Amino acid sequence: MLFRMILLIALTTGLQSAVSAGPLSYELNAEQVAPGTWVVQGKLEDFSSLNGGNIVNTGFIVTDDGVVVIDTGPSRRYGEALRKLISTLTDQPVRLVFNTHHHPDHFLGNQAFSDVGIQALPITREQIALHGNAFAENMYRLVGDWMRSTEVVLPSENASEPLIELGDHRIRLLRFTGHSGADLVLFDESTGVLFASDMVFYQRALTTPHTPGIPVWLGELERIRDITFSVLVPGHGPVVSDGRALDQMQAYLRWLDNTLTESARSGLTMTEVIALPVPQQFQEIALTKSEFSRSVAHLYPAYEARFF
């Protein structure tokens, strides 16, 4: 009887090990949104061991003089899958890679592109150098084995030129701060595609851990509205060809700002604010309640300081 129990435990442990050691595949698919322009849309979820951190939109532009990659994803494995996907769609080599900001789902795939010049805003490079390893460690905790062998590779170059001309594409580099303090937005003037990065979320609740403030973000969204784009690629969520993503962003940010302001004016505690209902118009947005709770934790102390 004891032998049978030991055998059963051994078999069960072996099976669990085999499952955990099994292949992990992102199964990336690219959607063509304009001539030579492709988007890989992430899930409208939070980081987990089920999705491997694949919650981000990445993209690439195929020119007749090479490929431009916008963000590299949350892990080495994702970056390698993205590069393989690109190779199935074009024979052109990857010429340029951009990290739009310092959040981990946008740069931890850099290892797969370490042979290419990786550009980012100077502040983004500083932020990745300062916080990159801590972000990577946290991602290991959140998504587990998907992160195997992932190490931080810093962007090697400053994204300092306002205009990049590669082959038949003219790509304008635009600097913002509203989401992370240093946010790179890329506008392909040749096709009208705007890679808005995490300056814009759509149908997935926005995140606020490093915003310099909601009023700043709202003001910069007005600048984005002034761009005559044909396609807008948000950092998270579906691609759009009109202003609906900007409408949703601004409506939510205004509500969030007003809610935190009035709550602080009324002397509500953080716990009481978190318990407030989210309006029906935002219920369709994925993760709204959980991200609202996080935003209260991130932002509410500054609102309280205005009144006390």
Give the pLDDT confidence of 48-80 residue by residue, as tens digits.
999 999 999 999 999 999 999 999 999 999 999
Mean pLDDT, range 242-254, rounded to an integer: 98
Mean pLDDT, range 161-178, rounded to an integer: 97
Question: For every residue of 200-267, which 3-state class applies, written as one string?
Answer: EECCECCCCCCCCCHHHHHHHHHHHHCCCCCEEEEEECCCECCCHHHHHHHHHHHHHHHHHHHHHHHC
User: What is the reported pLDDT for 211?
Assistant: 98
Give the pLDDT confidence of 91-145 residue by residue, as tens digits.
999 999 999 999 999 999 999 999 999 999 999 999 999 999 999 999 999 999 9
Q: How confident is the model at residue 308 (pLDDT cuts 50, 70, 90)?
A: confident
Q: How confident is the model at residue 14 (pLDDT cuts 50, 70, 90)?
A: very low
Model's pTM, two decimal places?
Answer: 0.92
d(CA 144, CA 217): 33
How many helices (H) and strands (E) the chain has is answered by 7, 12
Return the CATH number of 24-243, one of 2.30.30.100, 3.30.200.20, 3.40.50.300, 3.60.15.10.
Answer: 3.60.15.10
Judge contact between 112 and 97, C-beta under 8 A.
no
Give the pLDDT confidence of 187-232 residue by residue, as tens digits.
999 999 999 999 999 999 999 999 999 999 999 999 999 999 999 9
Domain boundaries, the chain: 24-243
pLDDT > 50? residue 12: no
What are the structure tokens assigned to 191, written together?
């096709």
Judge contact between 240 and 230, C-beta under 8 A.
no
User: What is the reported pLDDT for 1?
Assistant: 43
Give the pLDDT confidence of 263-305 residue by residue, as tens digits.
999 999 999 999 999 999 999 999 999 999 999 999 999 999 9
Tell me, what amino acid is at 3?
A: F
